[in-house]
Structure 1
Amino acid sequence: MPSVTPTSDTAAGIATITAVAALGNPRTLPGTKTVLLDAQIYVGSPSCESLLGSLRFFNVSDMVFEHQSALYLIYATFARMENGVDQLSITDYNFVATNVNQESGTFKLDVEHYISAFRDLKDSNSKPIKPIAPISCEFSSRYQNRKKPVPFNRRYVSISGFLTDVTYKRNSEDVERFMVSIDHIAFLGQQGNSTAIPNTLDTPFKTPRCGKSLIDYKRGRSTTPITTTIASPTTPVTPTPTQGPPRKRQRVEANQASESDSNSSDIYVPDK
């Protein structure tokens, strides 16, 4: 399938991955808290056993990474897309940036959710409820020493971060706005007029090429099958003498000890 040329109704998206990965070979970028890490994710496919990549981590808490690889649970976003990849057109998003302030680096999001579970089942003409989650966004310390990626007004964005505060309506328990400190932001462009979704089910994919791995998953695997043979019990060459009951054996040992004591004598060896 030919690639789609980006137009007004096609925009870059966001792709994330959550997996257990082997991280190693940390490198710190000079003058920043950013750490580069080699990452290896186990896939298990015969044609591609593992994926290799490079991760950028903003080390705000000064975590210590060992040079020897270790396993971590990671959540990451893809920062670069291969040329020629088919892009989906945006059909319907209901959260856009509003009230953008370029100087302070803040903006607001009004996220609308469609919830069909709360519709009136007795009324066939009832529509799903569309509650709005009002969010005020500000950038975390990650963007302190660089230009804040503030979106333009009425642009689609995807954000991830931490909830820092909640404001309520006056004399009420109803939430007025959520405060979020942004740790990552992705720009999704703006919605166009086209609503057609291209067919990507038949799009061929390429197998990633192999590279130097951090962990050898084949280590410890046996190349030859292990067989276990259970041998039947056999009679020993020298028969083991049978022993009597415990009490009888104790009496025999006691008699032998008394006889040896009665027949024993002291032997003196003269000095030369």
Structure 2
Amino acid sequence: MTNWTTHDIPDQTGKLAIITGATGGLGLETALVLAGKGAEVVLAARNPSKGAEAERLIRERHAGANARFDLLDLGDLASVEAFAGRHLAQDRPIDILINNAGIMALPKRQTTADGFEMQLGTNYLSHFALTGRLLPLLSAARARVVQLSSIAHRGGRIRLDDLNYQNGYGAWPVYQQSKLAMLMFALELQRRSGTQGWGLTSVAAHPGFARTDLIANGHGDSQPGLFALGARLIEGVLSHSAVDGALPILMAATLPDATPGAYYGPVGFQEMKGPPGRAVIKPQARDADVARRLWTESERLTGVCYG
């Protein structure tokens, strides 16, 4: 389906969509489209000022759009619990959950409020906890759940003996691990939904090489690192816009006949850019034994058990 565009998205009126990291970049582009298609969109992020600006932009672009900011700091499990608690109290089924927010390749090891390595905690563990806490509302709507992975998963390895990289921290291997974990989470969530009767359609997506502020939020200019340096050199040739990068996410979230456990991304050269379609899942992401062990460890670390 290489000619798929936003025009192919069905009407989303009546649906509730939650998007993490939706006040900028890919998350905001995704929110703009879903709001324009009639969905009620929750912009789950940590900066109220950026949230207000994102709300304004969405309403400016789509008159009458239903979009609202809700505070969520993925660097703090207490914030994740509070966010989920507010939604559980409202008891409104959630039709679409897009776990989009992320940071990339921090040059020095940092930790979250809970002591997790920052990339693992922000990109993966908090999304694992968020999905688990929202599971009753997701199951009630037979929701579509989208995990954001990356072409970086190809070189990733789940370091089960030291997930938090307390030893031998490396910016890029840690990022690769977090994005491999997200893809494995999508696949394992679908397996468990099938056996437990949760009714979810769990999928994953990646944006290819999209021009966002992710690199700036990671390496930065002072310590660019090999990836960021290479990224700048090839950006003009192999990258595409955040608007185009959001297309695989939107496809994963709205395709009526999406295959459970599918992975979506650009179908151009090395999946860096191009129209959206099915992406390649590398063998390590399909390791069901590692996925089960990662799930068990994630429940232990976050304190969130899916039951």
Question: Would you say same fold, with TM above 0.5?
Answer: no
Rg larger for: 1
Q: TM-score, normalised by structure 1?
A: 0.19
Q: TM-score, normalised by structure 2?
A: 0.18
Q: Could you say which structure has the higher helix fraction?
A: 2
Q: Could you say which structure has the higher strand fraction?
A: 1
